[in-house]
Structure 1
Amino acid sequence: MAPILDISKLQKSYGATHVLKDINVQIDEGDFLVLVGPSGCGKSTLLNCIAGLEPITGGSIHIGGRDMTHVSPKDRDIAMVFQSYALYPTMSVAKNITFGMKVRGVDQATQEAKLADVARQLQIEKLLNRRPGQLSGGQRQRVAMGRALVRDPKLFLFDEPLSNLDAKLRVEMRSEIKKLHHSMNASIVYVTHDQIEAMTLATKIVVLKDGVVQQIGSPSEIYNKPANLFVADFMGSPAMNLIPARAEPEGGATRIEIDREGAAPIILHDPHASGLPRDIILGLRPEDIAEAGFRAGEDVQEAQCLVDMVEPAGADTYVMSRLGGTGVTARLHAETIARPGEQMTLAFDLGKVSYFEPGTGTRLN
């Protein structure tokens, strides 16, 4: 079966400025694709290219097996939800939702049936006679989603739809969007700069930087096996610890040496690693550095670390130390007793380690 969206060798330039460089992405029907990256990476431009709001400089875009590269936005069988909601201020909620159907000549009975269905789904039945100015940000967001849902398109496009909402409402709306995706088996392309949003919503993530795809994968692939230092640092909160270290073969294993301030280096032995260059960056998520005795297994190795700072955070306590000349964060349980200036034994889970080449940033394992 043809992918619902197939982007091939897509290029986008404004004059001499190359904004998107050789983008190749495919998703199947029912996929939830999230485009994520820092501001200015090209993710909204890519979404606008899919929508047909921006002409592309090279390559092609197929939606539902049809070449849409030069097709106008209204004929692409897509529905878009913008960050600004883009509602008509003088129209009621009901008219905002049905306006597109009216323009396309859909009969009144169908309009009313679809409106009732979507209003029930989004729990906005009581708002249908109000105007957008009388609604909260979250309610406006639901109306914008309702207007997209009545289209029943091949592809939904969301451009940072939650960025105007407060933190609590964002979490609620995230759940709503996830539920909608499951109940409708909708195919969605979603832009965000929030990597937590990306991890919780996506079936597939594209990480962009400077118009170049850094990695495409499932949330767990992106999180556990980042393709390079940029992805490792960008995805995850707190970010992955990236510690300069030295590697040497020793027997059938690799000996890893990490400098400590005011003490001999930490020595770890990785039985699974081989063929590493001498200078490496060792990557470990904060949750993969535990308090001694709290994690068992042949890949877990302990070392004394000087506590730099302690941050209680409710369910977790974050303990910071300095290793390899850089700050390192361990995510420990809430009852952890740690004091700045004192030594603490930490357990490093080398079964979860990522190794990177310092110069290119490429993943080595």
Structure 2
Amino acid sequence: MAPILEISKLRKSYGSTEILKDINVSIDKGDFLVLVGPSGCGKSTLLNCIAGLEPITGGSILIDGQDMTHVSPKDRNIAMVFQSYALYPTMSVAKNITFGMKVRGVDQATQDRKLREVAQQLQIEAYLNRRPGQLSGGQRQRVAMGRALVRDPKLFLFDEPLSNLDAKLRVEMRSEIKKLHHRLGASIVYVTHDQIEAMTLATKIVVMKGGVIQQIGTPQEIYNRPANLFVADFMGSPAMNLIPARVRGTQVEIDRPGAAPILLSDPKVAGLPENVILGLRPEDIAEAGYRAGSDVQQAACQIDLVEPAGADTYVVSTLGGKAVTARLHTETRAAPGESLDLAFDLGKVSYFEPDSGRRLN
């Protein structure tokens, strides 16, 4: 079976400025692909290229096996949900949802049936006679999604659809979108700068920086085995700790202020360059006694900062000249200025080359 979307060697330039550089991505039917990266990385431009709203400079775009590289947006059988909702303010919710079908000449009975179906799916039956100005942001976003759903497209494109909502509504709408994906088996390409959205929604993530794909993988692959320092730092909240260290045979040496360096034994470092960046997630650094196993090693660390966060408490120490965050249990008795034995789970560690940033192990 052909991929529902296949992008090959895509390039996009504005004059001499190259925005997208040799983009290669494919997804299967039913996949939820999230394009994620900082502002200006090219993710929205790539989405617009898929939609046909931006002509590409080179490469090709296939949708369901058909070459759509130079096909008009209206003939690509896609539906797009925008950040700004793009609703008609003078039309009712019902007319906003059915307007596209009316323009395409869909019969009234089909329009009515699809309107009922999506209104029930999105729980907006009570709002069908209202105008967009009478709705909340979350309700308007549901209407925009309903307008896309009635088309039965081969591909849904979402351009940062939740960024205008407050934090609570974002969580609610994220759940709605995920449930819709599971229920419909829809094929979705979704753009966001929010790595939490990417991790919770995606079946596959594309991390971008400067118009270049940094890594493609499942949320678990991206989180547990980041391809380089950029991905390690960008994906995760709090971010992965990236600690300058030195390799000494099968040991890793990490400087700490006012005391001898920490020495951690790890056979995986044998043969690595002398200078490395050790990457470890905050949840993989625990208070001694709360983490056990053959890969867990302890070291005394001075606490600089304690941040209670409800179910967790974050403590910050200085290691390798960097602020290092550990995610501890909520009842920890750590206090700034004190020494605390921390347990490092070296089974979860990543090593990176300091200059290129590439993953070493």
Q: Report the TM-score, using the length of structure 1 for normalisation.
A: 0.99
Alignment partner, residue 121 of structure 2: 121
Aligned-residue offset at 1:22: 0.2
Cα shift readout 1:258-285 (whole Å, capped 9, x = no counterpart): 0010100000000333321000000000
Q: Distance in 2 between matches of 1:231 and 1:28?
A: 24
Cα shift readout 1:191-227 (whole Å, capped 9, x = no counterpart): 0000000000000000000000000000000000000
Root mean square deviation, CA, Å? 0.5
Which amino acid is 1:281 matched to? I
User: Do the aligned partners of 2:251 and 2:269 also contact (CA within 8 Å) in 1?
Assistant: no
Q: In the alignment, does 2:73 pair up with 1:73?
A: yes
Q: Distance in 2 between matches of 1:307 and 1:200?
A: 32
Kindly tell me the number of residue pairs found equivalent between the two proteins: 361
Q: In the alignment, does 2:319 pair up with 1:307?
A: no
Alignment partner, residue 353 of structure 1: 349
Alignment partner, residue 211 of structure 1: 211
Cα shift readout 1:147-195 (whole Å, capped 9, x = no counterpart): 0000000000000000000000000000000000000000000000000
Q: Distance in 2 between matches of 1:225 and 1:274?
A: 19
Which amino acid is 1:331 matched to? R
Alignment partner, residue 63 of structure 1: 63
Q: Distance in 1 between matches of 2:323 and 2:233?
A: 13
Alignment of 1:339-350 (within 5 A): 339-350=335-346
Aligned-residue offset at 1:116: 0.2
Alignment partner, residue 94 of structure 1: 94
Which amino acid is 1:224 matched to? N
Alignment partner, residue 164 of structure 1: 164
Task: Provide structure 2 residue ranges, at least 5 long, that are not aligned to the other structure.
Answer: none
Q: In the alignment, does 2:262 pair up with 1:283?
A: no
The SS at the match of 2:46 is helix
Task: Provide structure 1 residue ranges, at least 5 long, that are not aligned to the other structure.
Answer: none
Alignment partner, residue 326 of structure 1: 322
User: Do the aligned partners of 2:247 and 2:269 also contact (CA within 8 Å) in 1?
Assistant: no
Q: Distance in 1 between matches of 2:338 and 2:267?
A: 30
Q: Report the TM-score, using the length of structure 2 for normalisation.
A: 1.00
User: Do the aligned partners of 2:252 and 2:269 also contact (CA within 8 Å) in 1?
Assistant: no
Alignment of 1:124-143 (within 5 A): 124-143=124-143
Alignment partner, residue 188 of structure 2: 188
Q: Which portions of structure 1, spanning 4 or more consecutive aligned residues, are displaced by more than 3 angstroms? A: none
Which amino acid is 2:215 matched to? Q
